[in-house]
Structure formats: C-alpha cells, structure tokens
Structure 1
C-alpha cells in the first residue's frame, strides 16, 4: 500500500510459469504428450488472470461493494435475529397459500387481517409445536392425525370435511334453477298474454 496517493495497489505473489518446451526436429513428440502439457499451463494462466481481476476489484470501490453484497447472506436483518431466506419448495408454497386463506377454512375462528399482497413471504420459519403434558387428551393431535404438510392435515380433518361438504351443498342449491321453466314470467309480454288468455 502506498501512502500519499489517492489510489492504492495490491501485490500478489505470482508463481513462475514454465514455458512450453520447443520440439526439436530430432525428437518429435506425439500429440498425446502435447495435450498433456497444455492443461497445466492453461490453469496457471487462469490463476494469474483471476489474481489480476482481484486486484482490479480492490481498486474499484463500486465493484468491491457489488461483490460484498453478492457474498452477504440473505437475512431479514438484526431486528429479526438474522432470519435466513428459505428456499421455497412446492410443499412449502402450498402451506403458505393455505395460511393466507386461513380465514376461510374455519367459520368459528376469526383472524387478524393479514397483508393483502398475493406474493409469498421471503423470510419465514416453520416449526413443530410441542404440546405440554396438560393438553395430552384435549389439544394434542394423535399419530394418525399428524401429517407431513398442513394441506394433508386439513384434507383429513373430519370436522372440516363436514363443513366443506355443507358449504358446497349450499352453493349448489343456490345456483340450481328453481321451478318449471315454462311457468316463469319473462318480462311484460307474458303479463299481457296472461290477460288475453283470461278474457
């Protein structure tokens, strides 16, 4: 590092690179031997290029900041105890979508309104709740009721099945056409025809 100047330089020890041997007229090497010589030379040159790129990065603060940002771990921040961003698998995606629609699942439970955005959260954690010994008979799920995902648990829940069936039946009944079609009044013309028939 030089003091007194605006820029600073990095010095990296560069290994000496062996030059390729010339093939004499007397001794001709086969193409296989030449192929064996080339890869180590290429790797040495690649190492030097990488080192020179590193020197360029250290000189340019913008490039250095970009590299540091890329290498920084993706977390929610200190206030969230550096919660990492998890990779979203299809199972996790289903569970998150179900949690967004939790106010529809059970009519007896009311939840605080969540965020209205359709995007899935980037930072979250999923954990298993261990019930205390006092809830062994009341609030605990049996081994049969425990499933791998939230969607499977909801599909196998008997109370939810009954509620879902009842709601589907109500919706189908409301959409059914009622009465006989030809007995219905269709606008003013039908009233006039009915009066004419009565006379």
Structure 2
C-alpha cells in the first residue's frame, strides 16, 4: 500500500516528483547508485526538502517500493490451508525472484539491518500486512484440527519462509518452484496433527 503524502507537511507535486525521480534512478543504476543528491537533482528540489521528509535514502526507496508495488498476500479464499500456504509461498518466490520488485526488497532488507527505523517500517507496512492473512488461515486450521495446536503460528510460518530468506539473502542457493514445494511439504509434515518433535 503506497504511503500517501501528508498534506500538512508535503507538497504533493514535489512528493510525486521525488518518488518518480528515485524510481528512475533505481531502474537506471540500482540501489547503490542512488544518493540523496541525485534524487534532489533529478526531482528539481533541494536536498533539505528530502531530509525534511525522509531520514535516509533507504526511507525514500522504501516509500517508492510501496508506491510501485501492490503484490500479495497471494491467498485464495475458500481453499484448504495446505493449498493456501503453498499459494502464498509460491507468491513469495515470484515476488523475490522475478522482476525488479524482488531486487528492491532484497536491497531494502539488507539496509534495514543497520537502520532500525527502516526495519520497523518494513515490518509494519510490508511484511505484517502480507503475513497476517496466512497467520489467520493457519490459526483457523489449528481450530479445525488440521494443524497441530502446540506450535505458535509465527513459528510455524517461519518453517516455510526462513529457509527461502536464507537462500535469497545469505547462501545464494536457487529458490525455484521445486525448492518451494519441498519446503512447504516438509513444513506441512511437521505441522500435521500427531507429528512430534524429533
């Protein structure tokens, strides 16, 4: 969901020009090539304007990401939980692996490791809105007896998404459809009623 400009503190025209300029710079040279000075020059605004509205380059890029990306949560209503979880996991893979949105998201995730404000914004504005529906689906599956009830929902979700994040951000291993299916299969086996810790 795009972050709308606050009409009490932002000129809509300048806000739009800044986001468009940042997007163009990202498309031309990637995250590392973007600077606050380059954004200001391309948008035709002063650097003080940028720093009045955003604390860092990463914050501007994240707002551009929200403005340009409307993907998720990949769940289809009325289907059983295993089907929902698999659809969500494949949607996650598509976002991260295919197209520029995934590149931007990986760059922002890296920047968030040293930027607590960015990390909090990403958690609240991007990850949680997409994680919440699948968490709810899992909780409903627990109530229905389809998923074991002795595991916290977020821990259960991490069984699927932590391995994919590891490959994407650390090991560089492939995250293809076969890998996603294997991870989901393992997670569902571990979550099945009657499954017990090793």
TM-score above 0.5, yes or no: no
The higher-RCO structure (CA 8 Å, 6+ apart) is 2
TM-score computed with the length of structure 2 as normaliser? 0.23
TM-score computed with the length of structure 1 as normaliser? 0.23
Larger radius of gyration: 1
Q: Indicate the structure with greater helix content.
A: 2
